Amino acid sequence: MSKFQLFAKGLIKENPVFVLLLGMCPTLGTTTSAINGMGMGIATMFVLMLSNMAIALIRNVVPDKVRIPCFIVVIASFVTVVELLMQAFVPDLYATLGVFIPLIVVNCIILGRAEAFASKNTVFDSMLDGLGIGVGFVLALTVLGGTRELLGAGSLFGRKFITGDGILIFVLAPGAFMVFGFLMVLFNKLSARLNPKAK
Protein backbone atom coordinates (compact mmCIF):
# COMPACT_ATOMS: atom_id res chain seq x y z
CA MET A 1 0.00 0.00 0.00
CA SER A 2 1.47 3.33 -1.01
CA LYS A 3 1.88 6.17 1.50
CA PHE A 4 -0.90 8.09 -0.16
CA GLN A 5 -3.33 5.19 0.01
CA LEU A 6 -2.48 4.83 3.68
CA PHE A 7 -3.76 8.35 4.20
CA ALA A 8 -6.63 8.31 1.73
CA LYS A 9 -8.34 5.10 2.85
CA GLY A 10 -9.71 6.81 5.95
CA LEU A 11 -11.54 9.42 3.92
CA ILE A 12 -14.15 7.29 2.21
CA LYS A 13 -13.34 3.60 1.88
CA GLU A 14 -12.71 3.12 5.60
CA ASN A 15 -14.47 6.22 6.84
CA PRO A 16 -14.61 5.73 10.61
CA VAL A 17 -18.16 7.00 10.95
CA PHE A 18 -20.05 5.93 7.84
CA VAL A 19 -18.28 2.64 7.15
CA LEU A 20 -16.63 1.40 10.33
CA LEU A 21 -19.42 2.79 12.52
CA LEU A 22 -17.05 3.84 15.29
CA GLY A 23 -17.21 6.83 17.58
CA MET A 24 -20.98 7.14 17.51
CA CYS A 25 -21.36 9.11 20.74
CA PRO A 26 -19.51 12.30 19.76
CA THR A 27 -20.82 11.89 16.20
CA LEU A 28 -24.39 12.23 17.41
CA GLY A 29 -23.81 14.33 20.51
CA THR A 30 -21.72 17.23 19.26
CA THR A 31 -22.96 17.82 15.73
CA THR A 32 -25.54 20.48 16.52
CA SER A 33 -23.77 22.81 14.09
CA ALA A 34 -21.10 22.55 11.43
CA ILE A 35 -18.57 24.39 13.55
CA ASN A 36 -19.16 22.22 16.64
CA GLY A 37 -18.87 19.05 14.59
CA MET A 38 -15.68 20.28 13.02
CA GLY A 39 -14.19 21.33 16.36
CA MET A 40 -14.91 17.95 17.88
CA GLY A 41 -13.52 16.24 14.79
CA ILE A 42 -10.29 18.22 14.91
CA ALA A 43 -9.80 17.60 18.64
CA THR A 44 -10.26 13.88 18.04
CA MET A 45 -7.95 13.98 15.03
CA PHE A 46 -5.16 15.50 17.10
CA VAL A 47 -5.46 12.91 19.80
CA LEU A 48 -5.64 10.13 17.23
CA MET A 49 -2.57 11.27 15.34
CA LEU A 50 -0.44 11.94 18.41
CA SER A 51 -1.43 8.76 20.23
CA ASN A 52 -0.86 6.71 17.07
CA MET A 53 2.65 8.15 16.81
CA ALA A 54 3.44 7.68 20.48
CA ILE A 55 2.19 4.12 20.48
CA ALA A 56 4.16 3.25 17.35
CA LEU A 57 7.19 4.70 19.11
CA ILE A 58 6.84 2.54 22.22
CA ARG A 59 5.45 -0.54 20.51
CA ASN A 60 8.66 -2.55 20.88
CA VAL A 61 9.20 -1.68 24.54
CA VAL A 62 5.76 -2.51 25.84
CA PRO A 63 5.17 -6.12 26.89
CA ASP A 64 2.11 -7.67 25.33
CA LYS A 65 0.31 -8.26 28.61
CA VAL A 66 0.17 -4.64 29.74
CA ARG A 67 -0.37 -3.35 26.21
CA ILE A 68 -3.93 -2.11 26.69
CA PRO A 69 -3.35 -0.25 29.99
CA CYS A 70 -0.29 1.43 28.45
CA PHE A 71 -2.29 2.53 25.42
CA ILE A 72 -5.05 3.87 27.63
CA VAL A 73 -2.58 5.90 29.69
CA VAL A 74 -1.00 7.37 26.56
CA ILE A 75 -4.37 8.21 25.02
CA ALA A 76 -5.74 9.69 28.25
CA SER A 77 -2.66 11.90 28.57
CA PHE A 78 -3.08 13.30 25.07
CA VAL A 79 -6.77 13.88 25.71
CA THR A 80 -5.92 15.85 28.85
CA VAL A 81 -3.36 17.88 26.91
CA VAL A 82 -5.91 18.70 24.21
CA GLU A 83 -8.45 19.52 26.92
CA LEU A 84 -6.08 21.99 28.59
CA LEU A 85 -5.07 23.58 25.29
CA MET A 86 -8.71 24.04 24.28
CA GLN A 87 -9.53 25.62 27.63
CA ALA A 88 -6.70 28.07 27.08
CA PHE A 89 -7.19 29.02 23.45
CA VAL A 90 -10.76 28.18 22.37
CA PRO A 91 -12.71 28.43 25.64
CA ASP A 92 -16.06 28.95 23.89
CA LEU A 93 -15.77 25.79 21.85
CA TYR A 94 -14.58 23.91 24.92
CA ALA A 95 -17.67 25.04 26.79
CA THR A 96 -20.02 23.86 24.02
CA LEU A 97 -18.42 20.46 23.58
CA GLY A 98 -18.38 19.94 27.34
CA VAL A 99 -18.16 16.38 28.57
CA PHE A 100 -17.41 15.00 25.10
CA ILE A 101 -13.82 16.23 25.20
CA PRO A 102 -12.71 14.02 28.13
CA LEU A 103 -14.80 11.27 26.57
CA ILE A 104 -12.45 11.16 23.57
CA VAL A 105 -10.59 8.66 25.77
CA VAL A 106 -13.29 6.06 25.29
CA ASN A 107 -13.77 6.77 21.59
CA CYS A 108 -13.39 3.33 20.05
CA ILE A 109 -11.69 4.79 16.97
CA ILE A 110 -8.59 5.73 18.92
CA LEU A 111 -8.01 2.55 20.88
CA GLY A 112 -9.05 0.64 17.77
CA ARG A 113 -6.38 2.25 15.59
CA ALA A 114 -3.78 1.90 18.33
CA GLU A 115 -4.45 -1.81 18.60
CA ALA A 116 -5.02 -2.58 14.91
CA PHE A 117 -2.44 -0.34 13.27
CA ALA A 118 -0.05 1.66 15.43
CA SER A 119 1.10 -1.31 17.50
CA LYS A 120 2.37 -3.02 14.34
CA ASN A 121 3.67 -0.20 12.12
CA THR A 122 6.32 2.52 11.98
CA VAL A 123 5.87 5.97 13.47
CA PHE A 124 5.48 7.67 10.09
CA ASP A 125 2.95 5.17 8.75
CA SER A 126 0.98 5.41 11.99
CA MET A 127 0.92 9.16 11.69
CA LEU A 128 -0.46 8.93 8.15
CA ASP A 129 -3.02 6.41 9.25
CA GLY A 130 -4.10 8.60 12.16
CA LEU A 131 -4.24 11.66 9.93
CA GLY A 132 -6.34 9.86 7.29
CA ILE A 133 -8.82 8.39 9.72
CA GLY A 134 -8.87 11.70 11.60
CA VAL A 135 -9.65 13.73 8.49
CA GLY A 136 -12.35 11.20 7.60
CA PHE A 137 -13.82 11.75 11.06
CA VAL A 138 -13.67 15.54 10.70
CA LEU A 139 -15.37 15.30 7.30
CA ALA A 140 -18.15 13.07 8.57
CA LEU A 141 -18.83 15.26 11.60
CA THR A 142 -18.75 18.46 9.58
CA VAL A 143 -21.19 17.08 7.00
CA LEU A 144 -23.51 15.83 9.72
CA GLY A 145 -23.23 19.07 11.70
CA GLY A 146 -23.70 21.16 8.57
CA THR A 147 -26.83 19.27 7.53
CA ARG A 148 -28.34 19.58 10.99
CA GLU A 149 -27.48 23.26 11.23
CA LEU A 150 -28.91 23.95 7.79
CA LEU A 151 -32.20 22.20 8.54
CA GLY A 152 -32.45 23.12 12.19
CA ALA A 153 -31.31 26.72 12.25
CA GLY A 154 -31.25 27.72 8.59
CA SER A 155 -27.57 28.60 8.73
CA LEU A 156 -24.20 27.12 7.86
CA PHE A 157 -21.03 27.83 9.87
CA GLY A 158 -23.07 30.46 11.70
CA ARG A 159 -24.07 32.31 8.50
CA LYS A 160 -27.81 32.58 8.22
CA PHE A 161 -29.64 31.77 4.98
CA ILE A 162 -33.21 31.71 6.13
CA THR A 163 -34.95 34.18 8.38
CA GLY A 164 -36.81 32.64 11.28
CA ASP A 165 -36.15 29.61 13.34
CA GLY A 166 -35.65 26.62 11.07
CA ILE A 167 -36.89 23.18 12.04
CA LEU A 168 -35.66 23.00 15.60
CA ILE A 169 -36.07 19.24 15.89
CA PHE A 170 -32.98 18.69 13.74
CA VAL A 171 -30.78 20.42 16.29
CA LEU A 172 -32.37 18.43 19.12
CA ALA A 173 -31.69 14.81 19.98
CA PRO A 174 -34.08 13.05 17.56
CA GLY A 175 -32.66 15.05 14.66
CA ALA A 176 -29.21 13.63 15.31
CA PHE A 177 -30.39 10.06 14.86
CA MET A 178 -32.57 10.94 11.91
CA VAL A 179 -30.07 12.99 9.90
CA PHE A 180 -27.37 10.40 10.52
CA GLY A 181 -29.73 7.62 9.44
CA PHE A 182 -30.66 9.33 6.19
CA LEU A 183 -27.08 10.34 5.45
CA MET A 184 -26.14 6.69 5.78
CA VAL A 185 -28.89 5.71 3.35
CA LEU A 186 -27.43 8.23 0.93
CA PHE A 187 -23.90 6.98 1.54
CA ASN A 188 -24.95 3.36 0.95
CA LYS A 189 -26.82 4.29 -2.20
CA LEU A 190 -23.89 6.23 -3.61
CA SER A 191 -21.26 3.64 -2.82
CA ALA A 192 -23.50 0.94 -4.29
CA ARG A 193 -23.72 2.93 -7.51
CA LEU A 194 -20.00 3.73 -7.60
CA ASN A 195 -18.84 0.12 -7.29
CA PRO A 196 -21.71 -2.13 -8.35
CA LYS A 197 -19.44 -5.17 -8.27
CA ALA A 198 -18.90 -4.91 -4.51
CA LYS A 199 -22.44 -5.97 -3.65
Partner 1 sequence: MVVVLLLITLVCSAAVGLVYKVTAEPIAAAKDAKISGAIALVVPTFDNNPAENPMTKEVDGGVMTVYTATQGGQVMGYAVETFTNEGFGGTIKLMVGFLPDGSISHIEVIEQKETPGLGDKIDKSKSDFSLQFEGKSPADFKLSVRKDGGDVDAITASTISSRAYCDAVERAYNLLQTIKR
Partner 2 sequence: MEYFIIVISAIFVNNIVLSQFLAICPFLGVSNKVSTSIGMGMAVTFVIGLSSIVAYLIQYYVLVPLHIEYMQTIVFILLIAALVQMVEIILKKISPALYQALGVFLPLITTNCAVLGVAILLVQKEFNLLQSFTFAVSTALGFMLALVLFAGLRERLDLEEQPKSMKGLPIILITASILAMAFMGFSGLV
Q: Could you tell which of partner 2, partner 1, none binds residue 21, using a CB distance below 5 to 8 A set by kind?
A: partner 2
Shortest CB 75 distance to partner 2, Å: 8
Residue number with CB closer to partner 2 (29 or 154): 29
Q: Least distance from C-beta 80 to partner 1, angstroms?
A: 5
β-partners of residue 159 are: 156
Nearer to partner 2, 69 or 158 (CB): 69
Q: CA angle at residue 36 from 5 to 50, to 5 degrees?
A: 45
First to last CA, the chain: 24
> For partner 2, which is the closer residue by CB, 162 or 185?
185
- Is 185 near partner 2 (CB under 8 A)? yes
Site string for partner 2, 102-141 (x = CB under 8 A): xx-xxxx--x------------------------------
25 binds partner 2 (CB under 8 A): yes
Which one, 3 or 160, has the nearer CB to partner 1? 160
From CA 127, how far away is CA 34, in angstroms rounded? 26
Q: Binding to partner 2 (CB under 8 A): which residues in 53-82?
A: 68-69, 72-73, 76-77, 79-80
162's contact among partner 1, partner 2, none, with CB below 5 to 8 A by partner kind, is none
For partner 1, the closer CB: 163 or 195? 163
